[in-house]
Chains A and B, each alone.
Chain A
Amino acid sequence: MIIGIDVGGTHADGVLLEGARLVAKHKVAVDQEHLSESIISLLGALIPKDRRQLERVHLSSTLATNAIVTGSLDPIGMLIQAGPGINPEFLANNGPTWFLDGAIDHRGHIIRDPDPKLIDEAIAAMLQAGIDSVGIVTKFSHRNSIHERYIADRLGSRFSHICMGHQISGLPNFPRRVYTTWLNASLTARFAQFKKAIEQGLAHLGVDCPCHILKADGGTIPFARAIEFPCESVHSGPSASVMGCLALAGQPGDAILLDIGGTTTDISLLVDGTPLLEPYGINIAGRPTLIRALNTVSVGLGGDSTVAFAEKEFRIGPKRSGPPMAQGGTTPTPTDAMVVLGLLAVGSAERAAAAMETLCPGKPPADTARHLLTVFSERIRLEVAAMIDSVFSRPVYTVSALLQRRRISPERLIVIGGPAAALRQNLENCFNLPCLVPADYEVANAIGAARTQLTAQATLYADTADGRVSIPEISCLEDISNRFGMAEAESKLEQVICGIASDMGMTDRPTIDFLERLEMNVIRGFETSGKILNLKAQIRPGLAAIKGEQP
Chain B
Amino acid sequence: MTSFMPQALKRTALILFPAFDWCISPTHPEREERLLYTRDQLIEEGLEDVDNIVFLNPELASHADIDRVHLCAPSSQKLLTESHLISAGATLRVARAVMDKEADNAFAIVRPPGHHAMQTVFGDRGFCIVNIEAIMIEYIRRHYGVRKIAIVDTDCHHGDGTQDIYWNDPDTLFISLHQDGRTLFPGTGFVRETGGPAADGYTINLPLPPNTGEDGFDMVMERVVMPILDEFKPELIINSAGQDNHYTDPITNMNFTAQGYARLNQRLNPDICVLEGGYSIEGALPYTNLGIILAMAGMDYSHVKEPDYDQARFRQPEEMSRYIAGVCDKALEVFANRGKAKEAALQKKVVSERKSIFYDTTGFNVDEVRRYHLCPDCPGYTEVTASSPRAEIHAYTVPFNACPTCQRTARDLFTAARPLPQTITALQDRVADIYETK
Contacts and interface: CB of A to CB of B under 8 A. Distances in A.
Contacts of A105: 282, 286, 307
Contacts of A179: 4
Contacts of A310: none
Contacts of A84: 287, 303-307
Contacts of B306: 84
A156 interface: no
A139 interface: yes
Contact of B19 (A87, A103, A398): A398
Contacts of B22: 399
Nearest to B21: A398
Interface stretch (B44-52, B151-159, B263-271, B325-333): B44-52
Interface string B303-324: 1111100000000000000000
A438 to B, nearest CB: 36
A86 B1 CA distance: 21
Interface string B99-123: 0000000000000000000000000
A402 B282 contact: no
Contacts of B358: none
A106 B282 contact: yes
B258 to A, nearest CB: 8
Interface in A494-551: 518, 520-523, 525-528, 532
Interface in B133-192: none
Interface stretch (B26-34, B63-71, B373-381, B409-417): B26-34
B435 interface: no
A449 to B, nearest CB: 30
A287 interface: yes
A527 B31 CA distance: 12
B311 to A, nearest CB: 14
Given A86-B294, A398-B21, A399-B82, A526 B1 contact: no
Interface in A156-174: 172-174
Contact of B307 (A111, A140, A174): A111
A280 B356 CA distance: 52
A528 B27 contact: yes
A172 B19 CA distance: 19
A212 interface: no
B299 interface: yes
Contacts of A288: 4-5, 46, 49
Contacts of B31: 521, 523
Contacts, number: 135
A85 B304 contact: yes
B226 to A, nearest CB: 26
Interface stretch (A25-33, A88-96, A187-195, A365-373): A88-96
A277 B44 CA distance: 20
Nearest to A405: B57
Given A85-B304, A106-B37, A398-B21, A174 B82 contact: no
Contacts of A399: 19, 21-22, 82-83, 86
B303 A87 contact: yes
Contacts of A140: 44
B84 to A, nearest CB: 10
Contacts of B277: none
Given A105-B307, A172-B40, A397-B20, A86 B2 contact: no
A402 B16 CA distance: 12
A87 B41 contact: no
A91 to B, nearest CB: 8
Contacts of B2: 93, 286
A400 B21 contact: yes
Given A84-B306, A88-B303, A139 B33 contact: no
Contacts of B3: 90, 93, 286
A393 interface: yes
Interface in A372-399: 393-399
A232 to B, nearest CB: 20
A521 B307 contact: no
Given A286-B2, A395-B55, A173 B307 contact: no
B57 A103 contact: no
B17 interface: yes
B35 to A, nearest CB: 8
A520 B33 contact: yes
B365 interface: no
B26 A521 contact: yes
A393 to B, nearest CB: 6
Contact of B48 (A85, A94, A111, A173): A173
Nearest to B37: A106
B302 interface: yes
A175 interface: yes
Interface string A139-157: 1100000000000000000
B206 interface: no
Contact of B44 (A172, A405, A520): A172
Contacts of A492: none
Contacts of B45: 85-86, 174-175
Instruction: Identify which of A87, A174, A393 gathers the most chain B CB atoms within 10 Å of its CB.
Output: A87
A521 B21 CA distance: 11
B4 A393 contact: no
A363 interface: no
Contacts of A395: 16, 48, 55, 57
B290 interface: yes
Interface string A284-295: 001110000000
Interface string A94-135: 100000000101110001100000000000000000000000
Contacts of B346: none
A196 B39 CA distance: 44
Nearest to A174: B44
B20 A520 contact: yes
B36 interface: yes
B18 interface: yes
Given A393-B56, A396-B57, A86 B83 contact: no
Interface in B73-94: 82-83, 86
A398 B6 CA distance: 29
B43 interface: yes
Contacts of B436: none
Contacts of A82: 303
A106 B46 contact: no
Contacts of B278: none
Contacts of A90: 3-6
A443 to B, nearest CB: 36
Would you list the 7 A-B pairs with minimal beta carbon distance, nearest first? A175-B46, A111-B307, A106-B40, A87-B300, A398-B21, A172-B44, A288-B49
22 contacts: A84-B287, A84-B303, A84-B305, A90-B4, A90-B5, A93-B3, A106-B282, A111-B307, A172-B44, A175-B45, A280-B48, A286-B1, A288-B49, A393-B57, A395-B55, A395-B57, A397-B18, A405-B57, A520-B20, A520-B32, A521-B26, A528-B26
Given A86-B294, A86-B304, A93-B4, 8 more contacts: A82-B303, A84-B287, A93-B2, A397-B19, A399-B22, A399-B83, A518-B20, A521-B32
